[in-house]
């Protein structure tokens, strides 16, 4: 499926609520299934990736009911899962693959995890290493460090470890913490930089024996999780595309409703405000996951430097933030970009390739992406999503700033995180 998009001359206007948070939707199923009773989750994201997680737990004997945009997960406790009849097929979902590895490492049955061609190329040594130190037997079936993964059953508890992560990754952190639920003793995870903390918040909410101090999180295993109901806010990573489209296109003003404003997710807002964006937070509510509305208007931006320690807090927003840098006055430097190379695609290569087709000067220098700004109009052309949802949506917004009609190829991948993106784009124009 391809998109044809013309230059926008009138601005983006309206009031929208973007889809529910993808990261929290994954974790709601996982922790709900491991808790002691049913929990009702409001506003679940039924995207391709989250459905993979949901179906994996159904295959392991967990009842999950759906009513509209809500689900009810009938938890069976840490030892309530059953051996699936077949391998668990996780499609393109890296979160499902890495986090489920932590769950399955502590089970008394064996499992095979497989992904699509893209997921099977993504590095899994980052979860294999800590899980192996905990006594799990987890092996790539085709050698190397990639899926398919075979995880053998274990009849005794895992061993607790003190794990210092070589990179800041919420997926890896979550994998180890959940494996720690199956360890006899205290497991700790220390990050080099702060990453998203949705898992820690949900574990605390479900009464896990968990403590946080600085960049270290400790969890004591073999304790029951207590089910509780909660609501998932709108995903700020999805909102980022229209936030930046609104900031860049003259005459634009959008109100975003019920956006998740977790402090470990608002890096995109902090950077944009630093660049001069007119973004106002209204109706803020402090809860399990802080939430509020955003009032965004067209603004003049200036270039900035994004430091390496900021990357984990806006890792998914770097592609669309790069577009903001293109239109900002001066130069923007994005440091510590290596993690972008092991996403659904090599996002650095994808950004550079597509931007150059638009006539943009962009360079990769070691671990830095350097973008020359001050562009008023971008060249129209045909662009490749490279099978990556965030690249497809970034180029859709970029097309609104072009000098003609653009074509975005292979956009079906957008369903992994933002079903309905195309419809909301039309709604705002």
> Is 316 annotated as catalytic?
yes
DSSP reduced 3-state for 200: helix
Half-sphere exposure of 419 (CA within 13 A, CB side): 13
H or E stretch at 16: strand 13-16
Tokens read off for 350? 């994808």
Dihedral (Cα; 244, 248, 252, 254), 10-degree rounding: 10
Q: Distance (Å, rounded) from C-alpha 378 to C-alpha 63?
A: 50
Strand order across the beta sheet in which 63-67 lies = 63-67, 70-74, 38-42, 230-231
The active-site residue, picked from 316, 381, 388, 415, is: 316
Q: How far is CA 422 from the centre of its chain?
A: 20
Contacts 24+ apart (CB under 8 A), 141-149: 141/112, 146/120, 146/121, 146/122, 147/97, 147/113, 147/114, 147/115, 147/119, 147/120, 147/122, 148/87, 148/112, 148/113, 148/114, 148/115, 148/120, 149/97, 149/101, 149/112, 149/113, 149/114, 149/124
Q: Does the N-terminal peptide bond of residue 219 adopt cis geometry, omega within 30 degrees of 0?
A: no
DSSP 184: S
Q: How many CB atoms lie within 10 A of CB 307?
A: 12
Beta strands at 368-372 and 362-365: parallel, antiparallel or unpaired: antiparallel
Q: Distance (Å, rounded) from C-alpha 105 to C-alpha 151?
A: 7
Active site amino acids: 316
């Amino acid at each position: 499926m391809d998109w044809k998009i013309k230059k926008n001359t009138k601005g983006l206007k309206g009031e929208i609520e973007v889809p529910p948070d993808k990261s929290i939707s994954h974790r709601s199923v996982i922790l709900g299934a491991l808790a002691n009773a049913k929990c009702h989750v409001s506003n679940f994201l039924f995207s391709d990736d989250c459905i993979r997680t949901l179906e994996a737990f159904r295959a392991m004997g967990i009842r999950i009911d759906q009513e509209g945009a809500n689900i009810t997960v009938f938890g069976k406790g840490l030892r309530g899962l059953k051996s699936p009849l077949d391998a668990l097929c996780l499609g393109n979902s890296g979160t499902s693959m890495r986090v489920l590895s932590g769950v399955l490492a502590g089970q008394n049955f064996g499992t095979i995890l497989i992904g699509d061609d893209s997921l099977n190329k993504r590095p899994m040594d980052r979860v294999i290493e800590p899980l192996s130190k905990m006594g799990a037997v987890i092996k790539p079936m085709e050698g190397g460090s990639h899926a398919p993964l075979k995880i053998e059953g274990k009849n005794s508890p895992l061993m607790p470890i003190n794990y210092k992560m070589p990179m800041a990754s919420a997926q890896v952190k979550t994998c180890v913490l959940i494996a720690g639920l199956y360890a006899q003793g205290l497991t700790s995870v220390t990050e080099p930089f702060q990453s998203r903390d949705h898992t820690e918040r949900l574990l605390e909410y479900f009464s896990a024996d968990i403590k946080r101090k600085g960049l270290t999180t400790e969890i004591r295993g073999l304790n029951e999780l207590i089910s509780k109901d909660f609501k998932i806010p709108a995903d700020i990573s999805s909102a980022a595309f229209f936030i930046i489209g609104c900031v860049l296109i003259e005459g634009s003003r959008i109100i975003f409703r019920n956006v998740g404003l977790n402090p470990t997710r608002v890096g995109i807002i902090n950077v944009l405000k630093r660049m001069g964006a007119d973004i106002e937070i209204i109706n803020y509510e402090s809860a399990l996951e802080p939430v509020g509305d955003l009032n965004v208007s067209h603004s003049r931006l200036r270039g900035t430097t994004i430091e390496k320690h900021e990357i984990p807090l806006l890792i998914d927003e770097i592609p669309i933030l790069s577009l903001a840098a293109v239109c900002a006055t001066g130069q923007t430097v994005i440091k510590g970009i290596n993690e972008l190379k092991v996403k659904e695609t090599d996002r650095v290569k994808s950004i550079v390739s597509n931007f150059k087709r638009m006539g943009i000067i962009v360079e990769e220098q070691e671990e830095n992406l350097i973008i020359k700004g001050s562009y008023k109009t971008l060249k129209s052309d045909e662009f490749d999503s490279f099978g990556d949802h965030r690249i497809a949506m970034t180029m859709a917004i970029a097309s609104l700033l072009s000098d003609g009609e653009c074509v975005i190829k292979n956009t079906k991948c957008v369903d992994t995180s933002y079903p309905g993106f195309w419809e909301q784009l039309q709604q705002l124009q």
